[in-house]
Amino acid sequence: MVVKRKCDRGKGRRWFGQGASSGIGAETARVLALRGVHVIIADINMIKAKDVKEAILKEIPAAKVDIMELDLSSMASVRNFASDFTSTGLPLNILINNAGICAAPFVLSKDNIELQFATNYIGHFLLTHLLLDTMKKTTEESKKEGRIVNISSAGYRFAYREGIRFDKINDQSSYNTWCAYGQSKLANILHANELSRQLKEEGVRIIVNSLHPGATATSIYINNTLLNGISNMLGKTVVDKLAGVLVKNVQQGAATTCYVALHPQVIGISGEYFVDSNLSKVYPPGRDVDLGKKLWDFSMNIIK
């Protein structure tokens, strides 16, 4: 896939995305800036975020790019960021929930929530909740459809058998790195579906979708100890050859995100899951409406 062909023009729109200091997020920011979107990069690593901004401006001198600090594993950081952004009075057309960690060992966040669930899901849930009124106002005033995009993963299928372990989120004794990752990615899908359902009932012109960007050679996977172990076992040359066939580069990985965020063919499509810029069927847990509602209530209770 070629990103430039997957993304329609977005001139006059404002995009906010996290985890854009590297990998898919950085490429998404570059492509959207190329399409005339005012890009706001929120990231925990301000040095890398600044580097991405400078690289974009070097390629696209007329681009509008701002950076803001945000730690999605901390609800206090999310609240501070949302407050700072809202106080600017800027409109918000597109929100891309991109940041994430993969198969991390058991650690509790600053809010005493298992780190993958906190970073990959709760942080995004809270941020979306806090920015939703701004998006509703923007949609109403601009008469343009708003879009929320949750970057999930096919790894949602690794989730624990019960899907979301509401009573065992912080249970270290039964913790599995990949199941916990899958749980957080399943939560991204369920969040998009439930929010989409609610907005449809309200008659709000904001679509909410989730997607799998594809296996990409980004640091989220490169830094994973399991994959490093496979490389050591099979040999780097073998793994590199396999990766060349099976793994997407960042341009290909960002294509679906850009498509869902901007393309006119997605207008009016909400509560769906995309793979390779096409609609894709989600396994039963990801289509469970009751599970989505339960997760919503569970999440609202956490962020109180």
Distance CA 235, CA 278 (A): 34
- 175 is known as an active-site residue: yes
Q: Which amino acid is at 209?
A: N
Residue whose token pair is 């390629």: 59
| Of residues 167, 199, 204, 207, the one with CA closest to residue 183 | 167
According to DSSP, the β-strands at 273-275 and 278-279 are antiparallel
Distance CA 157, CA 257 (A): 20
**14-18, strands of its sheet edge to edge:** 65-69, 38-43, 14-18, 94-97, 146-151, 206-212, 273-275, 278-279
| Of residues 221, 217, 215, 233, the one with CA closest to residue 276 | 215
Which one is catalytic: 121, 156, 160, 175? 175
Catalogue the active-site residues: 175
